[in-house]
Amino acid sequence: MTDTQNESTWTKRQGELQRAIREHSLTARNAKAMLEYYLRLNCPEHQTTSHRDGHPKWCGRCGYTDQGVQLGAPDAEQSEPSTRTTFTVSEYIDLCHGIARDKGFWDKGVEAANIGEKLMLMTSEIAETFEEWRAGHGVTETYYNSDKPDKPEGVPIEIADLVIRVLDFCGAFGIDLEEAIMTKVRYNTTRPHMHGKLA
């Protein structure tokens, strides 16, 4: 891809994102985080090279593979302003729900969603986590299969799938997860040892 083509893809993508962000009614803070995230996926100087034996190639500037999987740290000096790699829980909600909407998972509207199915799909990610562990993979092991070399697999990835589904659900239905977590954590601190259950 030439520099001009790269730049035009880059500009077009920014326009699409800005429209998506407007339609998603994200706050300015979360919109910025989402934009930065997507911009890293659309690095204008994207060029993947091999960094580690047995791992897919990734770009030294943005840290992503051609398929948008982050394997390396972004180059802080070169990737301005897309250097941010941490988000608040609320930002993760907007990010995950925004991506799910971009991918068409909510095209029929939130009202049409089958809530029971959404909840059960969360449990299916727990089952997938269990299957990874049962297959002998370590709980912190992320690995890649040769038939899909860019697709991360393993217990951490299935846990991530679960969390992504939870965050998407919270985003769709307006659940303030930060508030809910703190509400429950505050209550838990008042409970007795092992919450009063016998060992």
Which residues sit at the interface with Mg ion, rule CB under 5 A?
A: 128, 158, 161
Query: By beta-carbon distance, which residue lies closest to Mg ion?
Result: 161
Q: Name the residue nearer to Mg ion (CB basis): 76 or 120.
A: 120
Q: Name the residue nearer to Mg ion (CB basis): 128 or 178.
A: 128
Helices 155-173 & 115-134 angle (0-180, nearest 10): 170
Q: Name the residue nearer to Mg ion (CB basis): 52 or 143.
A: 143
Q: Name the residue nearer to Mg ion (CB basis): 131 or 179.
A: 131
Q: Which residues, 6+ apart, have CB-to-CB distance to 186 below 8 Å?
A: none
First CA to last CA distance, the chain: 62
φ, ψ dihedrals at 137, nearest 5°? -80, 140
Least separation in angstroms between residue 150's CB and Mg ion is 15
Q: What is the DSSP string of 1-52?
A: --HHHHHHHHHHHHHHHHHHHHHTT--HHHHHHHHHHHHHHT-TT--EE--S
Least separation in angstroms between residue 99's CB and Mg ion is 15
Helices 89-102 & 3-23 angle (0-180, nearest 10): 110
Token representation of residue 150? 């860019």
Least separation in angstroms between residue 127's CB and Mg ion is 9
Least separation in angstroms between residue 161's CB and Mg ion is 4
Measuring CA to CA, how many Å separate 121 from each of 5, 98, 124, 166?
A: 40, 18, 5, 10
Q: Name the residue nearer to Mg ion (CB basis): 26 or 100.
A: 100
Least separation in angstroms between residue 134's CB and Mg ion is 14
